[in-house]
């Protein structure tokens, strides 16, 4: 892979892996210049760059073997700290993404179909059944019951581009004091509560939820919180299945505890 990248860049570049789970990202250095390289990035990256949501896209090249290599501007910076996720600029970048017609049109042109809650429920039930997780864990059974009970509240919502992995490591603060949201591999067209529900649960004190939502640009309501809990449950079940497949018992226990907590919050909310 590094040899192919060297062919794309030319002579004199030092190329090293950038880390990450996929092993598809690299850093190239030459004459005090750095580029962030990635193999087979989505065409979506060009629109994200044009919108100023990710660092500037420098070029895209197709290799002889069919791989597509993208090069982005390397910006010195750091991931946001957990407490910085409460900053207004995080709410602003999410609002920009969720209201971008350019991002939405690009995903649709790429053939991405909106992720409806009905389809999501059927898919997660099939996934859990294939691993016997529903029969094994009471908390999973309770979660499925809540998903079915709240499903009608999630229908007929405006679906937008969602990042679907909002955590502080994916938000980068540069030395120029700009914020970028990176790692778009899981992006989909979905209910925007998919994104800000995750952010509220993990980073915003519950007493500040209403204030954050108003600053983001929506009015807190019973329906909004029902939808938010629905997607939090769905995400927790997906992670449970993922860690089960990977054979990570400690993470499985952690996700079951997440489920128990969300189930309890829903029980208090809807009673």
CA distance 8 to 26: 13
Q: How many Cβ atoms from other residues are within 10 Å of residue 129's Cβ?
A: 12
Q: What is the DSSP letter of 84?
A: G
Task: Point out the catalytic residue in the list 67, 92, 165, 185.
Answer: 165
Greatest pairwise CA separation for the chain in angstroms: 67
CA Rg value for the chain: 20
CA distance 178 to 165: 20
| β-bridge partners, 188 | 162
Closest to 48 (Cα-Cα) out of 72, 67, 24, 17: 72
CA distance 52 to 167: 19
DSSP 3-state of 8: helix
Is residue 165 part of the annotated active site? The answer reads yes
CA distance 200 to 209: 7
How far does Cα 78 stand from its chain's mean position?
Answer: 18
Which residues carry out catalysis?
165
């Amino acid at each position: 892979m590094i040899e192919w990248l060297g062919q794309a860049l030319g002579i004199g570049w030092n190329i090293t892996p950038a880390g990450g789970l996929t092993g598809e990202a690299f850093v190239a250095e030459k004459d005090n210049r750095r580029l962030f390289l990635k193999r087979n990035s989505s065409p979506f990256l060009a629109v994200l760059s044009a919108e100023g949501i990710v660092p500037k896209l420098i070029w895209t090249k197709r290799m002889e073997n069919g791989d597509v290599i993208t090069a982005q501007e390397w910006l010195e910076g750091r991931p946001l700290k957990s407490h910085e996720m409460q900053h207004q600029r995080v709410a602003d970048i999410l609002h920009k993404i969720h209201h971008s017609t350019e991002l939405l049109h690009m995903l649709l042109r790429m053939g991405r179909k909106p992720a409806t809650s009905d389809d999501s429920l059927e898919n997660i039930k099939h996934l859990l059944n294939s691993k016997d997780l529903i029969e094994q864990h009471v908390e999973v059974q309770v979660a499925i019951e809540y998903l079915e009970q709240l499903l009608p509240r999630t229908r007929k919502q405006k679906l937008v581009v969602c990042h679907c992995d909002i955590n502080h490591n994916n938000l980068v603060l540069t030395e120029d004091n700009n914020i970028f949201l990176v790692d778009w591999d899981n992006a989909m067209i979905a209910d925007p509560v998919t994104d800000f529900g995750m952010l509220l649960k993990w980073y915003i004190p519950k007493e500040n939820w209403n204030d954050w939502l108003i600053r983001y640009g929506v009015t807190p309501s019973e329906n909004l919180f029902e939808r938010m809990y629905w997607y939090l449950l769905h995400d927790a079940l997906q992670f449970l299945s993922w860690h089960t497949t990977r054979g990570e018992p400690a993470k499985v226990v952690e996700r079951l505890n997440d489920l128990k907590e969300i189930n309890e919050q829903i029980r208090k909310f809807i009673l």
